[in-house]
């Protein structure tokens, strides 16, 4: 009887400790969501926190910032979280670029300030951070680099961010070409449309100034992060030759690798070549977390 009572007591203590530990992990995940809500309110943005389990210990768990493509939806980003990053033991934060982020410099800069606050906040200091940008995510990341320089937090960001992945990157300098190429197959019409779009963009001087500054920051990368680029010569929105020129410039200061897909369209590489995409991502990311 005494042995049975002792076993029951030990079992109760074990269950209590387990419940307290699970509750603490739940509070940690909820605290991360609360932090993002505060950032969202201050900067009028919409970050979303994604964890594999509400009861994961997040204090040192790696974190990936996913900057989606124009008008991407949360259901699109969730596939990258669930199929790629959660199996690698990582949580995710997503931001979904909208038209106003591209057309309105104030909105782009507000998003950049939110990104900078996220990657430099003390609460995430013990968590390795990765950046994964899609399409115009390259433009917003360029704006974020500008904001880091303006705030003087480049070194702080370097301590937190381990690497960057860019899928079908467009840093806005390539937007006129991309829109024209997606609209016209005839080379003459394509070139005419590209020149017309460039002229229209040039009329918006504040926006053009930010486009050019973001493009410069994206290409020079003051963080000198290791990078992996996913792209395709079949992509009519992204100029593959321009991407290769940018990668060549990066390679003088940092490790730059890439995956070139044969015939997948803009930001469709994972969908068309899932196994190749997953393998390339794991080979690049996992060594950065050790």
**Stated pTM of the model:** 0.83
CB 249 within 8 A of CB 221: no
Strand partners, 260: 231
Q: List, as own/partner pairs, every contact residues 32-41 make where C-beta atoms lie below 8 angstroms and the sequence separation is at least 24, other chains included.
A: 32/58, 32/91, 32/123, 35/121, 35/123, 36/93, 36/118, 39/114, 39/117, 39/118, 40/114
Identify the residue whose tokens are 């024209």.
180
- Rounded to 5 degrees, φ, ψ at 72 are -65, 160
Residue 130, SS3? strand
What is the model's pLDDT at position 13?
Answer: 59
What is the model's pLDDT at position 232?
Answer: 95
The tokens of 161 are what?
């961010």
Distances (CA, A) of 52 to 91, 124, 162, 171, 202: 7, 18, 21, 31, 44
pLDDT along the chain (290 residues), means of 10: 61 52 49 74 82 64 92 92 94 89 88 94 90 94 97 95 96 72 82 85 84 93 97 89 94 96 93 97 93
Q: How many CB atoms lie within 10 A of CB 29?
A: 19
Q: State how beta strands 91-95 and 48-50 pair.
A: antiparallel
Distance, first Cα to last Cα, the chain: 50
């Amino acid at each position: 009887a005494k042995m049975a009572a002792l076993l029951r007591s030990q079992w109760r203590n074990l269950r209590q400790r387990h419940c307290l530990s699970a509750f603490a992990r739940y509070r940690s995940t909820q605290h991360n969501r609360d932090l993002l809500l505060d950032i969202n309110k201050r900067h009028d943005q919409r970050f979303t926190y994604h964890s594999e389990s509400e009861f994961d210990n997040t204090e040192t768990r790696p974190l990936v910032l996913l900057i989606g493509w124009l008008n991407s939806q949360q259901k699109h980003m969730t596939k990258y979280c669930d199929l790629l990053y959660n199996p690698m033991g990582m949580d995710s934060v997503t931001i979904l670029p909208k038209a106003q982020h591209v057309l309105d410099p104030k909105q782009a800069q507000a998003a950049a300030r939110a990104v900078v606050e996220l990657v430099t906040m003390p609460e995430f200091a013990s968590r390795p951070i990765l950046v994964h940008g899609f399409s115009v995510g390259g433009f917003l990341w360029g704006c974020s680099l500008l904001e880091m320089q303006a705030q003087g937090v480049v070194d702080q960001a370097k301590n937190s961010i381990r690497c960057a992945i860019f899928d079908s990157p467009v840093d806005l300098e390539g937007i006129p070409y991309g829109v024209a190429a997606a609209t016209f197959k005839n080379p003459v019409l394509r070139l005419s449309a590209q020149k017309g779009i460039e002229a229209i963009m040039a009329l918006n001087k504040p926006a053009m100034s930010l486009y050019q500054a973001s493009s410069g920051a994206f290409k020079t990368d003051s963080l000198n992060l290791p990078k992996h680029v996913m792209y395709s010569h079949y992509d009519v929105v992204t100029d593959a030759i321009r991407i290769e020129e940018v990668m060549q410039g990066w390679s003088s200061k940092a490790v730059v690798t890439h995956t070139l897909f044969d015939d997948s369209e803009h930001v469709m590489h994972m969908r068309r070549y899932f196994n190749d995409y997953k393998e390339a991502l794991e080979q690049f990311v996992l060594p950065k977390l050790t």
